[in-house]
């Protein structure tokens, strides 16, 4: 079996395993590189080279920047402004929500934007008496469209921009994607407003994410020792409710409201047993007792995770929902603005701008080091780093040229516009089954080779590829965010294509008709 046949076999196996879901996607990608090594297609340096690629580091840095904005309460503040301005009008809610998620996606990627706004949108649906299923899919589709507003909208944009540089036609500018992104966002919003009510189900899921923004009121109602208007949650301090578990070393120790804990930075403000406040006197703690602790947010985060107490609601989650524009909000916004300026100006490489922004979030204490590590979606990082060798093998062995020649043979006789349409449909079809990043890494060498074979510029071809990768509308497995809203939206597998098909048609139209106007063939 020659190298081309081996590469096709590995690629086909990867796609089948991605679709089956029997193995983690990261493991599949790593096994692909190892298979190419053991079959002699690639050297070991080529197999691991993807993890040293600047794109991988840039993608990881973007996760940290997004975590900083969310941790500082910036996304909470945006969500509250959305609720305040939306009123009870469904079209107004959809327009404002989708524009907000599109802009946020352009800055912190699809996953970060949807994860940040998902609880806000669910709470808004409950308050406005809308079915969450009427809002959550438009939220995700708006994010997909918004990913094409800027280079930072999705890792695929970075991959495509790097591919354009490698093809000798120059990188795409930071805001160059917006030439197609703006009409895509406008069209996606219009489709949701005009047809979403009929094409989306009206369902309320069995379980809903908690609304922690009103937690202070619930605590005041539950604990008599907590006084209304006492400012339980501020930018500097907050409260956490904890329960004494069985076998805790605190059982039998005495405590009273107003007492400072052993750490010296938290104060007990209320104690309750079996639903009744124990009052100001000293009491011996027993299993099942609940306490309300007050202190700096950092101290609450540090001390709630020990074995002696069980926290009811994680302080970090409470702070994000209850304290908009927190203590480090100005720093987080400043870092974001600085990163955007560096990326837009091109003064430094994109990876340098991203790493500087991530470091600034840590050094300015917007996020803690361990929080920064947790914020990185390592599955995404491993997937991109491990799939780059597959792309390398396709180019090196000539497999990409074979597929490109086949694509040109099928549609090339009809002209370059038919090539764009064929490339879009092939990429979009693959993207409904596997990750759009994996799709991009598989299709990029095919697209550039097809452009060369047909004698057209690689820039419009690669932009069409980026648009097709963003058109992940038809299945819940197409992207993590499609799956993210499935349970809270009460969606079923067959719900996605109904609203997805009109959006797919919109993206195809823009890709074939509008792209050549901005990037001539």
Residue with tokens 């800055």: 107
The whole-angstrom separation of Cα 303 and Cα 308 is 10
**Structure tokens, 68:** 């900083």
The whole-angstrom separation of Cα 327 and Cα 53 is 35
The whole-number pLDDT of residue 68 equals 87
Give the mean pLDDT of the chain. 84
Percentage of the chain modeled with pLDDT above 70: 94
Q: Higher confidence at residue 409 or residue 10?
A: 10
DSSP 230-249: S-S--SSEEEEEEEPPTT-T
Question: Is it the case that residue 481 has pLDDT exceeding 90?
Answer: no
319-353 pLDDT, tens digit each: 777 777 878 889 999 998 888 888 777 788 878 88
Question: Is it the case that residue 32 has pLDDT exceeding 80?
Answer: yes
212-242 pLDDT, tens digit each: 766 777 787 778 767 666 577 877 888 888 8
Strands 283-284 and 267-273: unpaired
Using alpha carbons, select from 72, 68, 172, 75 the residue that is nearest to residue 120. Answer: 75
Question: Is it the case that residue 180 has pLDDT exceeding 90?
Answer: yes
Given pLDDT bands bounded at 50, 70 and 90, which one contains residue 207?
Answer: low
The whole-angstrom separation of Cα 379 and Cα 366 is 24
The whole-number pLDDT of residue 376 equals 82
Given pLDDT bands bounded at 50, 70 and 90, which one contains residue 190?
Answer: very high
Given pLDDT bands bounded at 50, 70 and 90, which one contains residue 199?
Answer: very high
57-97 pLDDT, tens digit each: 877 887 788 788 878 888 778 777 877 777 778 888 899 99
Helix-then-strand count for the chain, H and E: 24, 7
Question: Is it the case that residue 513 has pLDDT exceeding 60?
Answer: yes
Highest mean pLDDT of the ranges 65-74, 127-136, 268-277, 462-471: 462-471
Choices 3.50.70.10, 3.30.70.1450, 3.40.50.720, 3.30.428.10: CATH for 212-312 = 3.30.70.1450
Given pLDDT bands bounded at 50, 70 and 90, which one contains residue 471?
Answer: very high
Return the half-sphere exposure (C-beta side, CA atoms, 13 A cut-off) of residue 321: 22
The whole-angstrom separation of Cα 200 and Cα 497 is 10
- Check if the beta carbon of residue 313 is closer than 8 Å to that of residue 240: yes
124-134 pLDDT, tens digit each: 787 777 888 89
Averaged pLDDT for residues 364-389? 84
The whole-number pLDDT of residue 427 equals 87
The whole-number pLDDT of residue 251 equals 87
The whole-number pLDDT of residue 184 equals 97
Partners of residue 241 on adjacent β-strands: 292
**Structure tokens, 127:** 């308050």
How many other C-beta atoms can be found within 10 angstroms of the C-beta atom of residue 263? 10
| Start-to-end Cα distance in the chain | 37
The whole-number pLDDT of residue 326 equals 78
The whole-number pLDDT of residue 208 equals 62
The whole-number pLDDT of residue 380 equals 72
Cα 407 → chain centroid: 33
Question: Is it the case that residue 392 has pLDDT exceeding 60?
Answer: yes
Spatial CB neighbours of 53, under 8 Å, sequence gap ≥ 6:
384, 385, 388
Question: Considering Cα of 326, then 330, then 331, then 337, what sign does the dihedral take?
Answer: positive
Least trusted range by pLDDT, from 71-80, 164-173, 353-362: 71-80
**Structure tokens, 185:** 């966002």
The whole-angstrom separation of Cα 403 and Cα 401 is 6
C-alpha Rg value of the chain to the nearest Å: 26
Using alpha carbons, select from 185, 122, 193 the residue that is nearest to residue 153. Answer: 185
The whole-number pLDDT of residue 469 equals 92
- Check if the beta carbon of residue 424 is closer than 8 Å to that of residue 450: no
Given pLDDT bands bounded at 50, 70 and 90, which one contains residue 209?
Answer: low
Averaged pLDDT for residues 258-275? 85
The whole-number pLDDT of residue 354 equals 85
The whole-angstrom separation of Cα 100 and Cα 511 is 24
- C-beta pairs of 452-457 under 8 Å, 24+ apart in sequence: 452/404, 453/401, 453/404, 453/405, 453/408, 453/412, 454/408, 454/412, 454/416, 454/419, 456/416, 456/419, 456/521, 457/169, 457/519, 457/520, 457/521
Cα 355 → chain centroid: 18
Percentage of the chain modeled with pLDDT above 90: 21
Instruction: Please report, for the chain, the start and end positions of each structural domain, with discontinuous segments joined by +.
Output: 212-312
Residue with tokens 């203590």: 327
∠ Cα 486 59 439 (to 5°): 60
Given pLDDT bands bounded at 50, 70 and 90, which one contains residue 461?
Answer: very high
- Check if the beta carbon of residue 444 is closer than 8 Å to that of residue 388: no
Given pLDDT bands bounded at 50, 70 and 90, which one contains residue 477?
Answer: low
Burial code of 403-417, b = ≥16 C-beta within 10 A, e = fewer? bbbebbeebbeeebe
The whole-number pLDDT of residue 197 equals 87
Question: Is it the case that residue 118 has pLDDT exceeding 80?
Answer: no
Given pLDDT bands bounded at 50, 70 and 90, which one contains residue 470?
Answer: very high
Sheet strand arrangement including 237-243: 276-277, 267-273, 290-296, 237-243, 310-311
The whole-number pLDDT of residue 441 equals 81
∠ Cα 68 373 174 (to 5°): 55
CA-CA distances (angstroms) from residue 4 to 40, 267, 395, 397? 12, 68, 10, 6
The whole-number pLDDT of residue 210 equals 64
The whole-number pLDDT of residue 211 equals 65
């Amino acid at each position: 079996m020659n190298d081309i046949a081996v590469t096709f076999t590995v690629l086909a196996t990867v796609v089948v395993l991605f679709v089956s879901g029997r193995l983690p996607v990261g493991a599949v990608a790593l096994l692909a590189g190892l298979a190419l090594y053991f079959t002699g297609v690639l050297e070991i340096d080529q197999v691991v080279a993807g993890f040293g690629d600047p794109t991988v580091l840039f993608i990881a840095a973007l996760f940290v920047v997004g975590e900083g904005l969310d941790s500082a309460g910036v996304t909470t503040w945006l969500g509250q402004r959305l609720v305040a301005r939306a009123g009870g009008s469904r079209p107004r809610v959809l327009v404002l929500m989708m524009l907000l998620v599109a802009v946020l996606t352009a800055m912190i990627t699809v996953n970060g934007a949807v994860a940040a706004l998902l609880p806000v949108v669910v709470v808004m649906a409950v308050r406005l008496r809308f079915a969450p299923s009427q809002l959550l899919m438009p939220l995700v589709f708006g994010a997909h469209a918004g990913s094409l507003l800027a280079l930072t909208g999705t890792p695929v944009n970075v991959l495509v921009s790097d591919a354009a540089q490698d093809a000798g036609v120059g990188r795409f500018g930071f805001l160059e994607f917006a030439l197609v992104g703006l009409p895509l966002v406008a069209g996606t919003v219009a489709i949701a407003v005009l047809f979403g009510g009929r094409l989306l189900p009206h369902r309320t899921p069995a379980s809903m994410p908690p609304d922690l923004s009103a937690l202070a009121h619930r605590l005041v109602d539950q604990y008599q020792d907590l006084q209304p208007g006492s400012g339980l949650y501020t930018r500097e301090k907050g409260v956490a409710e904890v329960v004494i578990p069985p076998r805790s070393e605190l059982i039998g120790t005495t405590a009273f409201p107003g007492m400072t804990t052993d750490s010296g930075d938290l104060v007990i403000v209320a104690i309750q047993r079996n639903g009744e406040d124990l009052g100001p006197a000293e009491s011996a703690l027993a299993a099942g007792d609940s306490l309300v602790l007050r202190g700096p947010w950092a101290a609450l985060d540090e001390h709630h995770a020990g074995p002696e107490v069980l926290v009811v609601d994680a302080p970090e989650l409470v702070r994000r929902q209850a304290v908009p524009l927190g203590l480090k909000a100005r720093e987080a916004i400043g870092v974001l603005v600085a990163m955007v300026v560096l990326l837009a100006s091109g003064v430094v490489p994109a990876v340098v701008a991203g790493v500087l922004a991530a470091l600034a979030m840590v050094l300015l204490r917007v996020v803690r080091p361990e929080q920064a590590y947790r914020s990185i979606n390592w599955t995404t990082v491993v997937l991109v780093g491990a799939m780059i060798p597959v792309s390398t093998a396709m180019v090196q062995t000539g497999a990409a040229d074979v597929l490109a020649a086949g694509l040109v043979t099928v549609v090339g006789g009809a002209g370059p516009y038919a090539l764009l349409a064929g490339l879009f449909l092939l990429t979009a079809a693959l993207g409904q089954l596997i990750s759009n990043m994996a799709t991009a890494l598989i299709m990029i060498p095919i697209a550039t080779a097809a452009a060369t074979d047909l004698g057209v510029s690689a820039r419009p071809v690669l932009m069409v590829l980026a648009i097709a990768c963003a058109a992940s509308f038809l299945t819940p497995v197409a992207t993590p965010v499609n799956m993210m809203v499935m349970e809270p939206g009460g969606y079923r597998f067959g719900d996605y294509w109904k609203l997805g098909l009109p959006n797919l048609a919109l993206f195809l139209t823009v890709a074939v008709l509008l792209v050549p106007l901005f990037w001539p063939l």
